[in-house]
Chains A and B, each alone.
Chain A
Amino acid sequence: MNLKVSLYRYNPEKDKFPYMQNFSIEKPAKDVMVLDLLHLLKENDSSISFRRSCREGVCGSDGMNINGKNGLACITPLSDALKGNKLELRPLPGLPVIRDLIVDMTQFYDQYEKIKPFLQSDLEEPNDQERLQSPEERNKLDGLYECILCACCSTSCPSFWWNPDKFVGPAALLQAYRFLADSRDTKKQERLAELGDPFSVYRCHGIMNCVNVCPKGLNPNKAIGEIKSMLLDVTGREKIKVVSME
């Protein structure tokens, strides 16, 4: 039985507009991943371009839109992805296309950079040991630190499509909360102040596309909810002065 694969093609040096190229390929005898199928296609047409590296869902380079849903090609089995006998592969939506399935991730990384994704502490660094946490404090980071920055979530979010320069996006907000929840970080107020404008966090309307597509099973929407609770001062403990506004 043959599979019908429809692949997004665009080479800015040759093509005026992007187009969908159709392939018919024999269905592999055993269930393979979508990335394996792309390699099979590339054996016949070496101009097909896509990113990939670890091929085990750790590096996050092969994020793409697989039959309408963002995911990592290397850990998406063909049997899960196929609709009938058809497979449609497109680049991650909302980001500029460099070539075929390769997108320009600059906007995504700019937002990631904005949230200062590193530990900041005013406390003196211990000389002979690392900064310690209790098991309870460490547990708060579960479900946050595992993000591999594949951009599947942010590029499935309409708020990020419309305002990628202002809305931080689910991936970066998950990381923002990862440091807000970290007991060793002492810049909580400064971090919240950077996020307090009407766009950075509040442009999330909770439609949960991010949760639906995350290949690592994480929940950025929950993290965004936690950040909103901190910003809204529901406990009356936060004193936040917004520094970044439109």
Chain B
Amino acid sequence: MSGSILWYLQRASAVINLIFILYLFIGLMSLQEFNFDDVHSFLLAKPTISLLIFYIFSVVIHSFIGLWTVSTDYLIPRTLGFLNYRLALLANALKLSFNIVFLILGLIYLLVTFFILFLR
């Protein structure tokens, strides 16, 4: 994938994340009474659900690009070799495991969130 596409995805997902957090903060703060019913209706309102769907995907995209970048910087033979040369031999396996674990966690996160939203 081209670096420009990753760059745009990272920035666009950051903006979506920020918009949702601000929407959530402002929406909750502007509730007249901060009781269960009001919060419940606000969270289940169509605009909240619509933004939440974008947010769910953008969190996965943003964190995956970020953590992939971290793994390609720090989980490589050269970097781990600074700590211990034996660790350097395991670097590629560690990087692969890190990416697989994160991929699985991302999929679980998506499935659980969609289950809560649409199949409850």
Interface residues of A in 151-172 (CB under 8 A from B): 158-159, 161-164
Min distance, Cβ B21 to any Cβ of chain A, angstroms: 23
A124 to B4 CA separation, bound complex (whole angstroms): 33
- Residue pair A162, B1 in contact (C-beta under 8 Å): no
Question: Residue A201 at the B interface, CB < 8 A?
Answer: yes
* B76 contacts across to A, CB distance below 8 A: 162-163
Question: Residue B38 at the A interface, CB < 8 A?
Answer: no
* A196 contacts across to B, CB distance below 8 A: 2-4
The majority secondary structure among interface residues of chain B is helix
Interface size class on chain A is 20 to 34
The closest CB in chain A to the CB of B7 belongs to A202
A89 to B65 CA separation, bound complex (whole angstroms): 38
A245 to B52 CA separation, bound complex (whole angstroms): 34
* A161 contacts across to B, CB distance below 8 A: 78-79
A187 to B37 CA separation, bound complex (whole angstroms): 64
- Residue pair A242, B2 in contact (C-beta under 8 Å): yes
A52 to B76 CA separation, bound complex (whole angstroms): 34
Contact of A228 among B2, B7, B74, B78 (CB under 8 A): B7
A233 to B6 CA separation, bound complex (whole angstroms): 14
A242 to B6 CA separation, bound complex (whole angstroms): 13
- Residue pair A231, B4 in contact (C-beta under 8 Å): yes
- With A202-B7, A232-B8 in contact, do A163 and B72 touch (Cβ < 8 Å)? yes
B: number of interface residues (CB 8 Å): 13
A197 to B5 CA separation, bound complex (whole angstroms): 10
Question: Residue A70 at the B interface, CB < 8 A?
Answer: no
Residues 45-74 of B, flagged 1 when their CB comes within 8 A of A and 0 if not, give: 000000000000000000000000000111
Question: Residue A112 at the B interface, CB < 8 A?
Answer: no
Question: Residue A108 at the B interface, CB < 8 A?
Answer: no
A20 to B3 CA separation, bound complex (whole angstroms): 41
- Residue pair B7, A159 in contact (C-beta under 8 Å): no
The closest CB in chain A to the CB of B72 belongs to A163
Min distance, Cβ A7 to any Cβ of chain B, angstroms: 22
Contact of B3 among A162, A163, A200, A233 (CB under 8 A): A200
* B7 contacts across to A, CB distance below 8 A: 202, 228, 232
- Residue pair A198, B73 in contact (C-beta under 8 Å): no
Min distance, Cβ B87 to any Cβ of chain A, angstroms: 15
Question: Residue A177 at the B interface, CB < 8 A?
Answer: no
Question: Residue A199 at the B interface, CB < 8 A?
Answer: yes
Min distance, Cβ A39 to any Cβ of chain B, angstroms: 32
A245 to B3 CA separation, bound complex (whole angstroms): 9
- Residue pair A198, B1 in contact (C-beta under 8 Å): yes
A166 to B70 CA separation, bound complex (whole angstroms): 15
- With A162-B79, A245-B1 in contact, do A202 and B73 touch (Cβ < 8 Å)? no
A200 to B3 CA separation, bound complex (whole angstroms): 9
The closest CB in chain A to the CB of B79 belongs to A162
- Residue pair B72, A197 in contact (C-beta under 8 Å): no
- Residue pair B4, A232 in contact (C-beta under 8 Å): yes
- Residue pair A231, B3 in contact (C-beta under 8 Å): yes
The closest CB in chain A to the CB of B1 belongs to A198
| A interface, CB within 8 angstroms of B | 158-159, 161-164, 196-203, 228, 231-233, 240, 242, 245
What are 20 A-B interface contacts by the 8 Å CB criterion? A158-B73, A159-B73, A161-B78, A162-B74, A162-B76, A163-B76, A196-B2, A196-B3, A196-B4, A197-B2, A197-B3, A198-B1, A198-B3, A198-B6, A199-B72, A201-B3, A231-B4, A232-B4, A242-B2, A245-B2
